[in-house]
Amino acid sequence: MSEQVRPEDPAMFTGRSVRLAIKVKNWLPNQAEWTHAAQCVQVEEKERIGKFMFRRDAKAAMVGRLLMRFSLSKILGIPSRTLLFKRTEKGKPYLVSPIDRCNPRCDVSFNVSHQGDYVVFAAERGSPLGVDIMKVEWPRNTPVSAFFKTMHRQYTDQEWSEVKRYRDEMDQLKVFYRLWCLKESIVKAYGTGIGFEVSRLNFSFGCQNVLEDEVIADTKVEIDGDPAPEWTFEESFLDGHCVAVAVKYSLPNDQRPSSNAINRSSPRFQVVDMAEVLAGCEPLTGSVPDHQYWELFDAKEEQPGLS
């Protein structure tokens, strides 16, 4: 598993790429932390987070918003409270302000994903980007064969052959989730949401296995049957979770990151401390502590079936 680091390390934010992760499962916010967090996000996002039925989902959504604010304030060198975000019609967050103050440094594409135990954030200068994470786990109350049957149309015949090359069902699931992350990463980079038919994407592996603390970047994609060499995929395995970052480079091939099977030049996801992220986020102008917001959160169950 990746070693935890202090996110204020300036080296993490000075390069072309930023890759951060938080183990949200371990964050058990007290009243002061949750109230502070709510003051650091925009009102519409605070309201959206408050509508989640379970604490687990509310925490993941809150951490995603805080990671965006914390990271972009560091990347752009501006206070987090000055950042203004909106969402596209398909729900992808984008930075609205202060574009004019930091141009041309605002050529930053960013994306957040959360599933399982983690929230991940990825940012790239000058290139569209998408990220996705999936925990490798058994489908709930469903045999693996039945689960695969419901997902059959989402994968190509070639991709299913990669899944079925393994006899062990857990190994099959690992390949299945790996492919799903790849598909979702490119869809999120496009920003088209669920309207994009992922069956249009066909992935071919170079390296068959993704190991902990390695980044591989030799997977290729075809879109509607045509090769799409402009896309580079960084794949890693984080504490039982598949992670994929899709980056669409406009750089010449000789200036792109290496596409070797094990890409030592690609950034690894750094697991950061939630307390440091909270400390680096400032309450927005005009926000006040909302103790009722804490009470509503505290009254929720952590997740389905738990009190």
Q: pLDDT digit string (tens) for 156-212?
A: 999 999 999 999 999 999 999 999 999 999 999 998 765 689 999 999 999 999 998
pLDDT at 1: 43
**What is the arithmetic mean of pLDDT over 213-238?**
94
pLDDT at 22: 97
**What is the arithmetic mean of pLDDT over 233-256?**
84
**What is the arithmetic mean of pLDDT over 266-289?**
93
pLDDT at 286: 94
pLDDT at 263: 54
Lowest mean pLDDT among 119-128, 240-249, 298-307: 298-307
**What is the arithmetic mean of pLDDT over 13-27?**
90
**What is this structure's pTM?**
0.90
Tokens of 40: 């650091």
